[in-house]
Amino acid sequence: MILGPPSLGRLAESLLKLPGIGKKTAERLALYIFKMPEEDASTLAEAIIEVKRRTRLCSVCCNVTEDDPCPICDDETRDEALLCIVEQPGDVIALERTGQFRGHYHVLQGALSPLDGVGPEQLRVAELMPRLQSGKVREVILATNPNVEGEATALYLAKLIKPMGMTVTRIARGIPVGSDLDFADEVTLARALDGRQSV
C-alpha cells in the first residue's frame, strides 16, 4: 500500500490494525515514528511488549491487571455488597474516574452479540456466578453500554440474577450533562422522560 521503504510499509500495515486508524493516519504515524528519536521508538515498542507480558485478567473480576487479584478486588475498604458489571476494562477506568463508586466490579470482556457468535459462554459469566453465590453481594448494578448488545446483556443478566434474591439495578439512561435537549435523539429523550425523578 504505502509507497516507500518496505519496513515503513510494514509498520503502517501493523498500525492499520488498530481501531480508528485509517490508511492515511497509519502512514502519517509510520513516518512520524521513523522521525522519532531512537529512544522514544524503543520505549514505545517495549511498552507494547510489556503490556502483553505483564498484564493478565484478574481471576476474581476479570479486569486487566498486573497483580492477581487486582488492586480493586484486593482493596478491603471497598464495599463488597455492591457489584458493578461492565463490558470492558475501559468502562472500569471511566467509572473509577468519577470517584463515585466504592464497590467492586465484574468485567464481562464483551457483550452478547449472537450475530458475531458471542453468547454467554464467550463472556465472563462463569466467573461471575461464584461471586454472586458467595452471599456477600446485596446489589448488582448493570453498567453495560446503552446499545443493542449492552441492553441484551443487561436483560440476560437481570433474568439470571434476580431469582438469586439480590437487588438488580441498571445505570440511568438520559440526556448527557452539558448537552442540549435539541440534540438528543428520540430514544434517549424517551428514556430520560421514563427515568424522571422527583426533585
Considering only the stretches 90-98, 113-121, 147-155, 162-170, report the one whose residues sit in contact with a second copy under the rule CB under 8 A. 90-98
Q: Which of 59, 61, 62, 64 binds a second copy (CB under 8 A)?
A: 64
Q: Cell numbers 529512544 correspond to what residue?
A: 39
Assess 52 for contact with a second copy (CB under 8 A).
Answer: yes
Q: Give the strand pairing for 139-142 and 64-65.
A: unpaired
Tell me how far, at minimum, the Cβ of 58 lies from a second copy, in Å. 10
Closest alpha carbon to 109 in 97, 92, 130 = 92
Considering only the stretches 46-54, 134-142, 152-160, 181-189, report the one whose residues sit in contact with a second copy under the rule CB under 8 A. 46-54
Considering only the stretches 61-69, 121-129, 135-143, 153-161, report the one whose residues sit in contact with a second copy under the rule CB under 8 A. 61-69
Q: Which of 7, 147, 167, 179 binds a second copy (CB under 8 A)?
A: 7
Assess 43 for contact with a second copy (CB under 8 A).
Answer: yes
| Cβ distance to a second copy smaller for residue 36 or 193 | 36
Run of H or E residues at 59: none
Integer angstrom CA distances of residue 77 from 74, 81, 104, 169: 9, 12, 10, 23
Angle (CA) 11-43-90 rounded to 5° is 80
